[in-house]
Amino acid sequence: MTNMVKRILVGLVGIPATVAFIFSHQLAFSALVIPLTTLALLEFYKLAESKHAVPNKFLGIAGSIVLQILFLMYTVSTPATAASILVYLTVAAIGFVLLTLASEMFRAQENALLNTSLTVFGVAYVTVCLSMLMMIRSNVNVSGFDGASLTMTLFAGVWMCDSAAYFAGLAFGKHKLFPRVSPEKTWEGAIGGGLAAIAIVIGMFAWLMPDVELIHALAIGLIIAVFGPIGDLAESWLKRDAVVKDSSRIIPGHGGILDRFDSMLFVAPIVVIYLVINFYRA
């Protein structure tokens, strides 16, 4: 069975399942995000181990789950309790950083600076960024936005950007995009993927969130078109440094969770920043 066939078969199962979780309840969607984030963090720590680091995986995973639970509590909280949960989230994040450093003294491992840095960075890069999906999903009827519809639009945009970039690069690719990081990616592929992402996002907004102004649909399409490939390249860079092809083999034909969500690691937090700047200013 070829790799492309595996990818198609996984998509036939994975895409409907993802859509079902997105349009169900916030708790159901979070029940999908939290284990996926945990697996992705384990993959990141495995990459770190290939560089002779010894990240504190137990503490990293425990801290990641605690932070995600607090993110979930914030997304389902009332306005009266949201501020308190943000305080708990801040305290938990600071406590995690300090505990990671303090516990390293008792592990008796070499490269303490590298170990603690990668333990904390993994949670910041993987956990915090993917948890932004829960934040996006929780927004309901904010200036015409619907949380579930926006989340679905982001997934559709990222999927379309990746797929169109692959086929556009295959058909027209001549100029290398960033050969030091990913030798096979081309500017033609990136442009084709970006245009497809913008088109699908505008179409999804018109279908699912018709009350949102076109400028916001275009802006989010541009975020996916620009930051999706950057997220892809960033994860490729980490894998190249670790001298591995895939972060794992958990998804047939796709590699690991990090491989599948590399673009979303950049897209989701940038979209949250965009929403905060435009709709949540005092």
Task: Give the CA diameter of the chain.
Answer: 58
Q: How high is the pLDDT of residue 161?
A: 96
Query: What are the structure tokens assigned to 163, written together?
Result: 């797929």
CA dist., res. 127 & res. 235, Å (int): 15
**Confidence (pLDDT) at 140:** 60
Helices (H), the chain: 3-22, 26-49, 57-75, 79-104, 112-122, 129-138, 147-172, 187-208, 214-242, 257-279
Amino acid identity at 173: G
pLDDT score for 139: 74
Q: Judge residue 142's burial from the number of C-beta atoms within 10 Å of its C-beta, 0-12 exposed, 13-18 middle, 19 or more buried.
A: middle
Q: To 5 degrees, how large is the angle CA 241–CA 100–CA 27?
A: 85
Q: Decide: pTM greater than 0.85.
A: yes
Q: Residue 1: its pLDDT value, please?
A: 61
For position 141, what pLDDT does the model report? 61
Q: What is the pLDDT of residue 41?
A: 97
CA distance 229 to 165: 9
Phi, psi of 107 (to 5 degrees): -90, -20
3-state secondary structure of 186: strand
Q: What is the pLDDT along the chain (282 residues), one digit of tens a residue?
A: 666 666 777 778 878 989 999 999 899 999 999 999 999 999 999 999 998 899 999 999 999 999 999 999 999 888 778 889 999 999 999 999 999 999 999 998 999 999 999 999 999 999 999 999 999 998 766 677 899 999 999 999 999 999 999 999 999 989 999 888 888 899 999 999 999 999 999 999 999 999 999 999 999 999 999 999 999 999 999 999 998 888 888 887 778 999 999 999 999 999 999 998 887 654
Q: How far out from the chain centre does Cα 112 lie?
A: 28
pLDDT at residue 282 in the model: 43
